[in-house]
Structure 1
Amino acid sequence: MLVVTEETCRNLITREDAFTAVEGVFAAMASGEAYNFPVIREAIGHADALYGFKSGFDRAHGVLGLKSGGYWPGNEKRGLTNHQSTVFLFDPDTGRPQAMVGGNYLTAMRTAAASAVSIRYLARPDARVLGMVGAGFQSTFQMRAAAAQREFEKVIGWNPHPEMLSRLEETAAELGLPFEAVTLERLGAEADVVITITSSFAPILTRDHVRPGVHLACMGTDTKGKQEVAAELVAAATLFTDEVTQAVSIGECQHAAEAGLIEEARITPLGAVVNGAHPGRSSPDEITLFDGTGVGLQDLALASVAASSARDKGLAIELHL
């Protein structure tokens, strides 16, 4: 069995690697060649932590495994990322363990890649202003991945804790883009693409905030009760997701579904657009929304790339079990 450390993953995996792997998972899921198993995610009653498992099997790429981990809100004070996870890969032919791969960096990369895939396939070609709602650890990954998909001319941002917006400003500067902190009203009025990446349990963006033609990548809601945008805004959009059952149970669509504003049939797997089975955006004025709930198959795909690359480059630790 191979062991691939966090540091090795950071040195090996690029945004292009992440995009290609995640795009392939979307396609495989939509074609029925890959599927996720039910998610287990629970509060453990200690350190305010959420802990769980995401797992699945991608027959198209021969990847089987699980990601174990969760969210520890006090970690940042300890100099650690709040999200902690490890990916385990198994041989689908024998069930033997193949690799144990650090999952923190890969989780950040695959989450950003998922929203980037949605931007590539759903945002207007002439999108020029990127709006960021949230300025936590994941926000920098999101901005960098998004910037590769359109010729953005400006980044605008909002965060419930304004003192954290310097993180967005610094990342935008790295990308050669001007940044401005704005109100939610201005963000909704000016942004062509909006990424929400918070841990909110109450709606931040409302229907009145968002203008026609915007693409929303809602990436923070992955647990029962979480919410970043109002149910009425979800209902007003053309909806896409990574996995429909997760969208209506733990994703951004859960609240609109519970209120009877949408039905599952209105939500399209993004992989159907990737595969060409669905046209995606149908008009310049359409509001499109990608509900990124986070699927284990994406973690497994990127961990498989990391394990193969580390093995080939002699950077993996090999254990004989």
Structure 2
Amino acid sequence: MSHSNQNNSKGITVVSEAVCQQVMGRADAFTAVENVFSAMARDTAYNFPVIREAIGHADALYGFKSGFDRVGMVLGLKSGGYWPGNIDKGLTNHQSTVILFDPDTGKLNALVGGNYLTAIRTAASSAVSIAHLARQDANVLGMVGAGHQSTFQLRAAVEQRNFKKVVAWNKEPEKLTNLAVICEELGLPFESVSREALCAQADVIITITSAFEALIDQSWIKPGTHIACMGTDTKGKQEVDAHLLARARVFTDELTQSTTIGEAQHAIAEELINEADIIPIGDVINGTKAGRTSDDEITLFDGTGVGLQDLAVASVAAELAEAKGQASYFNL
């Protein structure tokens, strides 16, 4: 995965947002993320502690996610955050850049646009959870949230199972057009429904909001459902009833983040579950722990988003951009 030494003669690699979108597809992102979860579970890759702060300006949350993959030889960080006012300025709310370093020397290797990559790596993460945990016969997909990331989530999810229909809910119903347009393009029936109706119908549910309250009641979830909670990545955020985690088998990208800033933070705080109840998805990918064990089981994936996902997709994007002659270069 590393491209640490091949471009030193040309200088530091730069991969713009536009180039990332041209060279990096959903299949590449899925493989990169699945490999990283596998490496994390084998302890050959690890994330450093996350720094995430409200900066006291523009209601922004800003921070750093970083880590090192010893096998992939990828070292670096993603810096950026969430600016809620950006949508009114014609920008995406999420803004970030990935910076890659040479693990052998510490020299700056690459600067890679992080906005599109964050969206596809987050979508790849829930897609990996669907691939490994959802029932094979799952045929209704439920989407909770219709912001910028939701469209990426939808496109990645529908590639994992033979869905016959998509049902969706959003606090501002007019934004559901974002998802309806994609379903029309894919030839999938689409329906705007209440949260309760969504849970009654859906076999797979993706929550992708910035909520600070439970949007889904545990009593609404039917047996056999797989839920991917993808929005909670900060202390205080919450998308589902904490009691749902006590009912479900819970999986995550990273235990530390799950229990402190992820969806599991509330169930842990209320002592409804403990850390030992949460299974890293990498263990399922590696075959060291079971995924879904019955058609009636409720499975829940707490996708907190880890720095290694960003580094993995950025490293692949840099490689692809270099190979296709679409990278730029500069020297410090």
With structure 2 as the length reference, what TM-score do the two structures score? 0.96
* Aligned match for 2:245, one of 221, 234, 247: 234
1:97 and 1:248 map into 2 onto residues whose CA distance is: 33
The question of 1:129 aligning with 2:140 is answered yes
The question of 1:153 aligning with 2:160 is answered no
- Shift of residue 3, structure 1, vs aligned partner: 0.8
1:285 and 1:147 map into 2 onto residues whose CA distance is: 22
* Aligned match for 1:201, one of 208, 212, 220: 212
The question of 1:224 aligning with 2:256 is answered no
Q: Which SS does the other structure have where 2:290 is aligned? A: coil
- Shift of residue 278, structure 1, vs aligned partner: 1.1
Equivalent residues in 2 for 1:77-92 (5 A)? 77-92=88-103
The gaps in structure 1 that reach 5 residues or longer are: none
The question of 1:5 aligning with 2:28 is answered no
Amino acid at match of 2:224: G
2:184 and 2:313 map into 1 onto residues whose CA distance is: 28
Deviations 1:101-135 (A, max 9, x none): 00000000000000000000000000000000000
Q: Which SS does the other structure have where 1:32 is aligned? A: coil
The gaps in structure 2 that reach 5 residues or longer are: 1-11
Match in the other structure for 1:265: 276
Amino acid at match of 2:119: A
Deviations 1:162-190 (A, max 9, x none): 11111111111122100001111111111
- Shift of residue 299, structure 1, vs aligned partner: 0.4
Q: Which SS does the other structure have where 2:219 is aligned? A: helix
1:258 and 1:180 map into 2 onto residues whose CA distance is: 36
Match in the other structure for 2:27: 16
Q: Which SS does the other structure have where 2:250 is aligned? A: strand
* Aligned match for 1:300, one of 295, 300, 311: 311
Match in the other structure for 1:211: 222
The question of 1:249 aligning with 2:242 is answered no
Amino acid at match of 1:280: G
Match in the other structure for 2:7: none
Q: CA RMSD in A?
A: 0.6
Match in the other structure for 1:174: 185
Match in the other structure for 2:43: 32
1:43 and 1:175 map into 2 onto residues whose CA distance is: 39
Match in the other structure for 2:118: 107
Q: Which SS does the other structure have where 1:180 is aligned? A: strand
Match in the other structure for 1:67: 78
Match in the other structure for 1:51: 62
Any runs of at least 4 consecutive aligned residues in structure 1 with deviations exceeding 4 A, and if so which? none
1:168 and 1:316 map into 2 onto residues whose CA distance is: 32
User: How many pairs does the alignment contain?
Assistant: 321
- Shift of residue 228, structure 1, vs aligned partner: 0.2
Match in the other structure for 1:192: 203
Q: Which SS does the other structure have where 1:109 is aligned? A: helix
1:183 and 1:11 map into 2 onto residues whose CA distance is: 37
* Aligned match for 1:283, one of 284, 288, 294: 294
1:267 and 1:86 map into 2 onto residues whose CA distance is: 31
Percent of residue pairs identical: 67
Amino acid at match of 2:49: P
1:297 and 1:311 map into 2 onto residues whose CA distance is: 21
